[in-house]
Amino acid sequence: MKMDTLTWRTIDPGSSVYGASETHVRSVDEEYAWFFSGEYPALVRTVFFIVHSTERAEDIAQDAFMQLLLHWQKVSKYERPDAWVRRVAIRLAMRSIRREQMRSVVERGSHTAELPQSIDVDLANAIGQLPPRQRSAVVLFYFEDRPMQEIADILGCSVSTGWVHLHKARKRLAALLGEEVSESVD
């Protein structure tokens, strides 16, 4: 869908999205809204475990869904639109971490985000010490329970590289959390 062909259409009072054709708009918008309500909370949680900030996680997830909305007519035809929006969000999250790390270096201090109550703080802090790709691999594998093929696709690397990220992350986390680590992943 090209940007210059987009027109804004009302989907319900107080909210509007666009579609490429009048007849298609309503069904497209409803489909998008349905997809959004199902995927958004899960994506925010995933991004949160990577960036460790509720506010940033929501901001990143909304950016990703905005991109999805702009490309909805094309992406909705894909087999896994959720993988597409995840890939966008994870990349935005990794970029955000790098930016945050740079800021910490420049300002000579680390920003400790306020974590919500009932969060496993030790786990969050341990994950916070991993590089962006290892963090993402851990969250996608253990929290989202995604197969390595899909994780590699989201991270934009080969499957073997995805496994390397995960194994390195496991070893580091085991050391930080004082847990056992075996060669094979359970």
Q: What is the DSSP letter of 143?
A: I
Q: Could you say whether residue 58 binds other proteins (CB under 8 A)? A: yes
Q: Least distance from C-beta 51 to other proteins, angstroms?
A: 11
Q: Which residues in 76-135 contact other proteins (CB under 8 A)?
A: 116-120, 122-124
Spatial distance between the Cα atoms of 128 and 37, rounded to a whole number of angstroms: 28
H/E stretch holding 67 reads helix 54-70
Q: Least distance from C-beta 120 to other proteins, angstroms?
A: 4
| 114 exposure class (CB count in 10 Å sphere: 0-12, 13-18, 19+) | exposed
Where does this chain touch other proteins (CB under 8 A) — which range of 76-84, 128-136, 139-147, 152-160? Answer: 139-147
Please list, residue by residue across 3-13, b when 16 or more beta carbons sit within 10 angstroms of its beta carbon and e when fewer do.
eeeeeebebee
Tell which one of 109, 112, 182, 183 touches other proteins (CB under 8 A).
182
Nearer to other proteins by Cβ, of 105 and 179: the residue is 179
Radius of gyration, CA atoms only, the chain:
19
For residue 77, give the 3-state DSSP assignment. Answer: coil
Spatial distance between the Cα atoms of 169 and 68, rounded to a whole number of angstroms: 30
Tell which one of 25, 48, 134, 150 touches other proteins (CB under 8 A).
48
Give the interface with other proteins as residue ranges (CB under 8 A).
3-4, 6, 8, 11, 14-18, 33, 36-37, 40-41, 44-45, 48-49, 54, 57-58, 61-63, 65-66, 69-70, 116-120, 122-124, 138-139, 142-143, 170, 173-174, 177, 179-182, 185-186
